[in-house]
């Protein structure tokens, strides 16, 4: 049996509590919230190095190219990428990862972690993981608990069986799980010194967790096994079978297995940690001024206290005057203003926007694709102006449109343009016209990003007006 620890990064969440920065089309794990790397990149880096194998990623189809691209930026490659046909919560995701890893490395250790947590001291956390390996190899389901520093009502808690003065990372039996408490109970849990926050991070062998599923959640195991048996290879991805997957219950690993199992251990972790679960958590993790105010991006605070001002566009300036305990986040297409103590209700606001069919509820102005990204600059009744950036070496599909023609003006880099039988290189300040119905392709043959302005004209300008003839990313018409 291999001695390596196999990280499994859960990477399919939507992060609606950090709207408008985090949206379904590009959720918080891929956003640079706390530094120069995204939360996902920081998680992958933290769970790498001596004793760690290449990570397995469990994600959604919409994010499949993002996870590869962001790992490649770290000079890392995943061992496997499992594509969930639909979000079914953590029990299904972890079960699928265990089945896939058991097929590849029977009996190996797997470390399951969300991809959107902040743990600044990576070396200290890796030491805690290594300290848990003996218990995991002995057949324990090991969970990691965070030393609490406040009476937090937004997390579940873990009850220790033994008191600990220094919260050293030593495995001990887990006495019980505690649901998210009310404020009074949270104060009591904090004062008692026998409880930790539930981080949702686990270490066990594939054998142990699959046995636990067989005993406590056989319906999850059977359906996931069927979905894995029906899986299809798609480039670097493993697409789980959708028919069997659809029958899975939407249930967390805690409810499905952990709260029913008797072979549970907990390893305390006394270092800094945050799940960045809402904007108040972002404020708490950031560097505040003497009045407790955090500014990010083009923002200015005057006589504010305990406030977060975050702006994302250099063309705007966010100004707060006399604000107390306020969250204000400004993006080009949406603005959030909320009391800090009501930050968790942002999720409810997103649900309200979805019911109103507001596009900003789920989609960002910038649309990320495997070849790069684009954003709409101006939209009119029969025209649209976009900025398009194509990564070095990348290419859009060979395609045509029923309802629109396009003008491309290169403003940075060099474009290789195919229009029907004509192939040409277009440099900066040059343009090319794509007639309606023409079969065309845009490529970046250079070493620097290619940026162009696209002007579309026609009766219908939707992204689904695409007929793909060839695509290096194996996408269908609408993906």
Q: Is the pLDDT of residue 477 over 50?
A: no
Closest CA to 145 of 258, 266, 47, 46: 266
Domains of the chain, residue spans: 5-269, 279-355, 366-470
How far is the C-alpha of 418 from the C-alpha of 416, rounded, in Å? 7
Q: Is the pLDDT of residue 455 over 50?
A: yes
Closest CA to 10 of 62, 57, 44: 57
Rounded average pLDDT over 194-210:
97
At residue 140, the pLDDT reads 98
pLDDT digits (tens, 9 = 90+) for 251-268: 999 999 999 999 999 999
Higher pLDDT, 16 or 206: 206
Contacts of 415 (CB under 8 A, 6+ apart): 390, 408, 425, 426, 432, 442, 443, 444, 450, 452
Contacts of 176 (CB under 8 A, 6+ apart): 158, 159
Share above pLDDT 70 across residues of the chain, in percent, rounded to a whole number = 99
pLDDT digits (tens, 9 = 90+) for 3-12: 799 999 999 8
CATH superfamily name and code, 366-470: Jelly Rolls (2.60.120.10)
CB atoms within 10 A of CB 457: 15
Rounded average pLDDT over 87-112:
97
pLDDT digits (tens, 9 = 90+) for 134-170: 999 999 999 999 999 999 998 999 999 999 888 999 9
pTM of the predicted model as reported, rounded to 2 decimal places:
0.90
- The correct CATH number of 5-269 out of 3.40.640.10, 3.40.50.1450, 3.60.20.10, 3.90.550.10 is 3.90.550.10
Burial of 292: CB neighbours in 10 Å, binned 0-12, 13-18, 19+ = middle
Asked if residue 199 lies in contact with residue 90, where contact means CB atoms within 8 angstroms, the answer is no
5-269 and 366-470: identical CATH topology: no
At residue 13, the pLDDT reads 82
């Amino acid at each position: 049996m291999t001695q390596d620890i196999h990280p499994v990064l859960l990477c399919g969440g939507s992060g609606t509590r950090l709207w408008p920065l985090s949206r379904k089309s590009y959720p918080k794990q891929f956003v640079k919230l706390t530094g120069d790397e995204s939360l996902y990149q920081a998680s992958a880096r933290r769970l790498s190095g001596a004793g760690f194998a290449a990570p397995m990623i469990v994600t959604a189809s919409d994010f499949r190219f993002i996870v590869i691209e962001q790992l490649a930026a770290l000079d890392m490659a995943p061992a496997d990428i499992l594509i969930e046909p639909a979000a079914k919560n953590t029990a299904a995701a972890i079960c699928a990862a265990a089945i896939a890893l058991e097929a590849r490395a029977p009996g190996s250790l797997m470390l399951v972690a969300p991809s959107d947590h902040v743990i600044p001291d990576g070396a200290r956390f890796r030491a805690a993981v290594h300290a848990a390996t003996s218990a995991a190899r002995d057949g324990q389901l090991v969970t990691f608990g965070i030393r609490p520093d406040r009476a937090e009502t937004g997390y579940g808690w873990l009850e220790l069986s033994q008191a600990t003065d220094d919260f050293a990372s030593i495995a001990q039996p887990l006495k019980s799980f505690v649901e998210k408490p009310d404020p009074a109970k949270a104060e009591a849990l904090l004062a008692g010194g026998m409880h930790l926050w539930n981080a949702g991070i686990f270490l066990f062998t594939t054998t142990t967790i699959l046995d636990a599923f067989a005993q406590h959640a056989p319906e999850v195991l059977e359906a996931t096994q069927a979905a894995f048996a029906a899986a299809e290879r798609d480039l670097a991805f493993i697409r789980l079978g959708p028919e069997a997957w659809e029958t899975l219950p939407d249930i967390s690993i805690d409810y499905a297995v952990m709260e029913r199992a008797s072979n549970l251990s907990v390893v305390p972790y006394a270092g800094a940690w945050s799940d960045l679960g809402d904007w108040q958590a972002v404020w708490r993790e950031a560097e505040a001024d003497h009045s407790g105010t955090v500014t990010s991006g083009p923002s200015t605070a005057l006589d504010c206290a305990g406030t977060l001002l975050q702006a994302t566009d250099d063309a705007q300036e966010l100004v707060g005057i006399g604000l107390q305990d306020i969250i204000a986040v400004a993006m080009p297409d949406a603005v959030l203003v909320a009391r800090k103590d009501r930050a968790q209700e942002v999720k409810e606001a997103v649900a309200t926007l979805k019911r109103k069919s507001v596009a900003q509820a789920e989609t960002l102005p910038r649309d990320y694709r495997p070849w790069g990204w684009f954003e709409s600059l101006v939209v009119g009744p029969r025209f649209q102006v976009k900025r398009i950036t194509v990564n070095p070496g990348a290419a859009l599909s060979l395609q045509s449109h029923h309802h629109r023609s396009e003008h491309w003006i290169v403003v940075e880099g060099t474009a290789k343009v195919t229009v029907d039988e004509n192939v040409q290189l277009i440099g900066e300040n040059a343009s090319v016209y794509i007639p309606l119905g023409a079969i065309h392709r845009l490529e970046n043959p250079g070493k620097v990003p290619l940026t162009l302005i696209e002007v579309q004209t026609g009766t219908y300008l939707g992204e689904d007006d695409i007929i793909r003839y060839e695509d290096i990313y194996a996408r269908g018409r609408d993906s």
